[in-house]
Amino acid sequence: MHLQHIALAVFVAVIWGFNFVMIKAGLDELPPVLLCALRFFFAAFPAVFFVQRPAIAFRHVLIFGFTMFALQFTLLFFGMAAGATAGLASLLLQVQAFFTVLLAVVFLDEKPSGWQITGAIVAFCGIGLVAANLGGDISALGMVLIVAAAASWGAGNLISKRLGKIDMLALVIWGSFVAWPPLLLVSFIFEQDAWNLASMSELTWRSFASIGYNAYPVTLLGFAAWNWLMSHYPAATVAPFSLLVPVFGFASSAFVMGEPIYAWKIAAAVLIITGLCINLLGFASPESAASSRSVSTVIFLPVFFWRIQTS
């Protein structure tokens, strides 16, 4: 892998890791559903006018947009608003990899490898360590909602796997296009306080920066760069860079927002990332590579997604 392409992969991880700080900044001024709706509105426009709809039934776009985008990020935003630091949110969301495997066992009759089972056990020990330290940095509700967001991401991975070989950038844009209208309606019904002129007049540059950062660098720039790397290098070469997302999530949260890094956070991060590495070893092993339909080919995807194509 060329040095400049390694730098590009690290840059994408930085973009996605710092995103959790930007989400937290947006939630200081906007309610979760409205922030989520605006994110996907600007991710879709004006790109939807220039990118053709993916060559699948529109109902599949709807299902994907609801599961991967509307549901996942509403749960994530609510979880962070309910009480979770940016660093812990970036870490907990990575267990989507194991929800993908679990859902594949239930719905696709796939058999998890020993590596995947071992990795899941190690990672969920890290989740247990976070649960044992509920309090100022993360609430019980915040943790449950973020883990639920990870489960929604896992479901979205399975959906993207079933869609086959399609233009994934087009799916991101059109998935965003179908996600924002129901979110905006839900916000209008249940977050009415945010819709009055007085509330809107109090918005600062932080809200607009959060929306813009989520819509463009995270969704379009980050995805396009990751897509390009995946198309030029083996998945097993690129996928490990996703493990840097919670590292940069913690670092940016500590530097920008002053999030304290306690020993239990480091231990939890080590357990979860170690579990992901063990799972990645299973993905890279000859036994795993022999099955091109294995769901392990779609689980290493930071913040958004990529269906890794195997031959």
In a domain, 51, yes or no: yes
Tens digits of residue pLDDT in 135-188: 778 899 999 999 999 999 889 888 887 887 788 889 889 999 999 999 999 999
Predicted TM-score of the model (pTM): 0.83
**What's the domain range around 45?**
3-298
Task: Give one word for 109, left, alpha or beta, with left for phi > 0 and alpha for psi -120 to 50.
Answer: left
Is 132 within the bounds of a domain?
Answer: yes
Alpha-carbon span 152 to 97, nearest angstrom = 11
| 3-state class (DSSP) for residue 138 | strand
Tell me if 214 is assigned to some domain: yes
Beta-bridge partner residues of 84: 138
Q: Are 278 and 126 in contact (CB under 8 A)?
A: no
Classify residue 304: in a domain, yes or no.
no
Give, in degrees to the nearest 5, the angle at Cα 230 between 226 and 234. 145
Nearest CA-CA partner of 269 in 134, 144, 147, 125: 125
Q: Is 221:15 a contact under the CB 8 Å cutoff?
A: yes
Number of structural domains (the chain) is: 1
Whether 305 maps to a domain, the answer reads no
Q: Does residue 188 sit in helix, strand or coil?
A: helix
61-73 per-position pLDDT tens digit: 999 999 989 999 9
**Model pLDDT, residue 233:** 78
Cα distance between residue 206 and residue 269, in whole Å: 28
- Evaluate whether 173 touches 47 at the Cβ level (below 8 Å): yes
